[in-house]
Structure 1
Amino acid sequence: MIQFRQVEAFRCLMVTGTTVGAARQMNITQPAISRLISDLEADLGIRLFTRTKGRLEPTNAGIRFYKAVEENFLGLERLRQVANNIRNDAPEHINVACSPVLSTSLLPQVLKEFVSDDPKVTIHVTSCNTSEILLKLQDMKVDMALCPAFPEIAGIEQTHLMDLGMLCAMPPGHRLAEKALIYPDDLEGETLIGWLPIGPRAYDMEQATIDKAQIKTRYSIKTHSSHTRYAMVAHGLGISVVEPFAARIWQPNQVVVRPFVSEIRYRYVLAYPTSAKRSELVADFQAATLRAIRAYDFNVEGYENWRCLT
C-alpha cells in the first residue's frame, strides 16, 4: 500500500533533483529517501527513476506520476490555506468557472452585483471551455460555474437561467445590414465563419438550420471561440451566426449585428457539484446572477423577442 511519506519523498526528489536536497527538505537521511523511493516503486510496480552518471533521472512513468502527485498536493495546499484563513479569520472566497465569452461580458456585471452584497469576499475566476468546466465541477475544484447548458452528468446539478436566440454578425456596409431581421434564407451564397465541431451542440443546431433552409453557403473559417468568430467578421472574412453576449463588445469594433430568426436557442445555466454543501455565498452569487441577467443590455434593436429568462 502506498504511504504518504513515500509520495512526499518522491515529490521532494522531483522538486529538488537530488537525494541530498530531498533529504534536507524532509529532514531525514539520504538512505531514508532512497528506501522510500524504492518502496514506492515496489508498491506501484513501475520504475520512477534511472541513475545516469550518478544522477537520478525521472522516467516517463515518473514524470506522468509526478503530474498526478502535484494535482493532489495542490489540493492539500488548498486545505492548509483554508485552515489558515479560518484560523486568522480571513475573508471567505469562492471559486467560479466561466465560459470565455461570458467571463468578458456577463460575469463582470454579475460580480459587480455580488460584491455590492459581499464586499469582503475574494472571487477566484477560471475561464475555460465547457469540457474543462465539467471536470472542475466533478472534481469539486470550483464552487459553481456560469456556462451554456449541457446534457445531464452524474455529480453535477444545473439551474436554468435563460434561453437566448442568436444574432447574425456582419461587417459594416454588408448587404444584410439594411435588414432589421435576418432569416436563414438570407444567408444564401454567403461566406460564413462557422463553429468547429469541438462544440457539437452549437455546430449541429446551426448546420441543421442551414440544411432545413436548403441554401448554399461556404464556410471559410471554423472555430470553437465566439470572440474569434466576431473578430473574423470584424476583419471582413465573412459573416457569422453568433451568440449574443459578446455583441456589445464587438459593435464598436467594426461589427454590425441583427437578430437571427431561427429555432436555435442557447440555454445558459449555473452549475454546481451535486455533493457539495452550498454556502450562503453561493446563494448570493445566484441572486446576483439573476439581477445581472435581467439588467443586461444586449444593445441590439428588436432582440428582446428572442430572450427568455427563467
Structure 2
Amino acid sequence: MLTFRQLETFREVMRSRTTQAAAEALRVSQPAVSNAIRQMESQIGFDLFDRVGKRLVPTPDAEEIFRDSEAIFELYNVFAQRLDSRKTNSMGTLRIVCTPPVANALMPPVIRDFVGTRPEVRINLDSRRIDGLFESLETRRADIGFALNPPQRPGLVREELALAQMVCAFPPGHPLSEKLAVTAADLASYPLVLFEPASKLNLILQDSFLNATLRENAIAEVRYTSLACLLAEAGIGPTLVDSLTAHAGHRYKLEYRPLYPAQRVSVCALYRANEPAKRVQTAFLDAVRGSGALAGIDEFGVTDG
C-alpha cells in the first residue's frame, strides 16, 4: 500500500522532473526523494521514470498515475481547509435549545452576529419548555441550552450569564407610565394578562409579588412572554414580563416599568458537565456572554430601596 507521503513525493518529482528540485520543494534531502521513488516503483512492480542524465522522464504509466492522484490531493486540500475552519470556529454544526423567552429575545441578534462572520456554521435552534430543554441536553439532541431561572439539574452545568428582572408592560399613554416603578397595589384596579399558574415566570412572581387580588384580575392567562406582550399591545391589559423580553429588539409598541420590590430573574446557559465542548460551542457561548442583547436587560435599574 502506497503512503500519502510517497504520492506527495511522486507528485513533486512529476512537476519538477528532478529529484533535487523535488527535494527542495519538499524540504527533504535529495537521497530521501530518490529512495521514495525507488520504493514506490518496487511496490507497484514497474518503473515510473526513465533516467536521462540528471532528469527523470515520466513513463506513460506515470503520467496516468499522476492524473489519477490529483483527485486525492484535491480531496486532501478540501479536508485541510475544513480542519482549518474548525480551528478558527468558522464551520461546524451547533444545536441550541432555549426556553421561549430566550429563544425569541436573545437568540436572533446573537445568531445573526455569530454566523455573519462564520458563513459555514450551521445552527439548529429549538424552543422548548424547561423539561423539554433538559431532555434535549441529556439525550444529546442539543449541545447547549439557555433559559430563565432554570433549576439545578444533576449532570448539567448551570452558568448565570446575566441578571434580569421582571417588568410591567403596557401601551404608551397608559396611566402606569407616570410611575417610576410599579407595585402590586398599582395594578389592583386593572385587568391583567398573566402567565399560567404552572409557568416558570409565574412561579417567580407568586411568592413575593402576585397576590390573590391580582390573580383575580387576570382577564387572560398565557404561556409565553411574546403572546403576553402582544395582548398587552392590543390593549387587553398590562402584563408582567422579563426585562430580556422587554429590552431585546424593542419589537413591541409598549412601555415598561420595573416592579417594586424588584423581582430578579437569571439568564443562564446550560450544558453537560464533565464533557468537552465542541470548539464552535465554546465560541458561541463566548459570543452570548459578550452580547449587546444581554447588556441592557438591567437598564430599568434596581428598585429595592
Tell me the TM-score normalized by structure 1: 0.62
CA distance in 2, matches of 1:255, 1:145: 28
Give the match for residue 202 of structure 2: 203
| Residue equivalent to 1:262 | 261
The alignment's C-alpha RMSD in Å is 3.0
**Secondary structure, aligned partner of 1:121:** strand
Distance in 1 (alpha carbons) for counterparts of 2:171 and 2:249: 11
User: Which is greater in Rg?
Assistant: 2
1:165 corresponds to: 165
Question: Quick one: distance in 2 between partners of 1:86 and 1:132?
Answer: 36
Say whether residues 1:94 and 2:94 are aligned partners. Answer: yes
Distance 1:142 1:108, change over 3 A: same
**5+ residue gaps in structure 2?**
1-77, 84-90
1:21-70 Cα shifts (integer Å, max 9, x gaps) = xxxxxxxxxxxxxxxxxxxxxxxxxxxxxxxxxxxxxxxxxxxxxxxxxx
Mark the CA change 1:237 to 1:155 in structure 2 (over 3 Å): closer, same or farther: same
2:300 is equivalent to residue 303 of structure 1: yes
Distance 1:211 1:89 in 2: 54
CA distance in 2, matches of 1:305, 1:134: 31
Say which SS state the counterpart of residue 172 (structure 2) adopts.
Answer: coil
Per the alignment, do residues 231 and 279 of structure 1 end up closer, same or farther by CA in structure 2, a change over 3 Å counting? Answer: same
Q: In the alignment, what sits opposite 1:65?
A: none
Q: Secondary structure at the match of 1:246?
A: helix
CA distance in 2, matches of 1:236, 1:250: 21
* TM-fit CA distance, 1:277: 2.3
Which residue in the other structure is 1:108 paired with?
A: 108
SS, match of residue 165 in structure 1: strand
- SS of the aligned residue for 1:287 comes to helix
Taking the aligned partners of 1:168 and 1:211, their CA distance within structure 2 comes to 12
2:249 and 2:238 mapped to 1: Cα distance?
A: 13
1:180 maps to 180
Task: Tell me if the contact between 2:143 and 2:271 (Cα under 8 Å) persists in the aligned partners.
Answer: yes
How far apart are the structure 1 equivalents of 2:135 and 2:186? 39
Give the equivalent residue in structure 2 for 1:232: 231
Counterpart code for 1:203: N
| CA deviation after TM superposition for structure 1 residue 133, in Å | 0.8
Runs of 5+ consecutive residues of structure 1 not aligned to the other structure: 1-84
Match of 2:242 in 1: 243
Matched residues, number: 219
Match of 2:193 in 1: 193
Identity %: 19
Tell me the SS of whatever aligns to 2:244.
coil
Which residue in the other structure is 2:273 paired with? 274
Decide whether the 8 Å contact of 1:113 with 1:291 is kept in 2. no
* Alpha-carbon distance, 1:102 to partner: 2.0
Q: Deviations over 1:225-278 (max 9, x none)?
A: 001111111111111111122224685643221122224211111101225321
User: Contact 1:106 / 1:293 at 8 angstroms: preserved in 2?
Assistant: no
1:88/1:290 CA distance change after superposition, 3 Å: closer
- Equivalent residue number for residue 39 of structure 2: none
C-alpha separation in 1, matches of 2:237 and 2:148:
25
AA aligned opposite 1:144: I
Alignment CA distance shift 1:136-1:86 (3 Å): farther
How far off is 1:224 after superposition?
A: 1.4
Q: Distance in 2 between matches of 1:225 and 1:257?
A: 17
Q: Give the whole-Å Cα distance in 1 for the aligned partners of 2:248 and 2:133.
A: 24
- Call closer, same or farther: CA 1:86–1:147 in 2, change over 3 Å: farther
